[in-house]
Amino acid sequence: MFHFIFAVVCLRQHYCSQYYNVKKIIILIIAGIYITGCKQKISVPKPSQIQPQKNFFPVTQYLLGQIKELKSLPVTPLKVTTFNSKSDSVWIKREEINSFILPFITPEIDSVSLSKYFSERSFLDQTINAFTFSYDPVTQLPDSIIIKHWDVYVDPDNNEVKRIYIIKQLNKNDSPQTIQLTWKSGNYCQVTTILEKEGTAAEIKEEKLIWNF
């Protein structure tokens, strides 16, 4: 009888020992999973570290498309030049359109080349009935970037571009020169050149290309 009781006690201790061993193993596994999960959570970047992708309106591609459309029209554009309050007009060939707009299609205005230098601000301008997208520098611009600002105006009724305005700044013979482009979709484009000379009034020349009469 004693041997039987001793055997039962031993068996019980054996299973209890196994039970506690298994329990310890389960606790260790759960602890390991928890620690691993904590480590994974720590490695996830904070929201402030995630930089959203900027998507600027592709101004250059739009202007190139407008030029292509202009060249396909059965019209001869009229160039009107105004300088020192005097105006002169001349009909130009389609081949001359590219040279007229060239300063504003190089370098390309897009997200890839300019998103790290400029920021976009958008709002609805009810005075002109247009969504306005304005772009201004957010940091010091390198000498290779002469564009200083541009705006895109979109019709809120049909989501079509109404107008584009671009400002570029450069030096000509050590004198600051500002050139501005106003592109009125489907109607005309105008290039305004402002040359500032020390001690004298600024010289302003306006060149307007009209194709919708």
What pLDDT is stored for residue 105 in this prediction? 85
Q: Are 136 and 121 in contact (CB under 8 A)?
A: yes
- pLDDT tens for each residue of the chain, 213 residues long: 434 333 333 334 444 444 444 444 444 444 444 444 444 443 333 434 434 456 889 999 999 999 999 989 999 999 999 998 899 999 998 888 888 888 888 778 988 878 889 999 999 999 999 999 999 999 999 988 899 999 999 999 999 999 999 999 987 667 789 999 999 999 999 999 999 877 788 899 999 999 998
Q: Where are the alpha helices (DSSP H) in the chain?
A: 2-43, 59-72, 97-101, 111-114
Phi/psi for 16 (5° steps) reads: -65, -40
How far is residue 15's CA from residue 8's CA, in Å, rounded to a whole number? 11
Q: In the chain, where are the structural domains located?
A: 2-49, 59-210
- The b-or-e profile of 6-35 (16+ CB within 10 A means b, else e) is eeeeeeeeeeeeeeeeeeeeeeeeeeeeee
- The b-or-e profile of 50-63 (16+ CB within 10 A means b, else e) is eeeeeebbbbbebb
DSSP string, 130-177: EEEEEEEESSPPPTT--EEEEEEEE-TTT--EEEEEEEEEEEETTEEE
Q: How many CB atoms lie within 10 A of CB 134?
A: 16
Q: What is the DSSP letter of 198?
A: T
- Overall residue count recorded for the chain in this entry: 213
Q: Going by DSSP bridges, is the β-strand pair 188-195/203-210 parallel, antiparallel, or unpaired?
A: antiparallel
Q: What is the DSSP letter of 187?
A: T
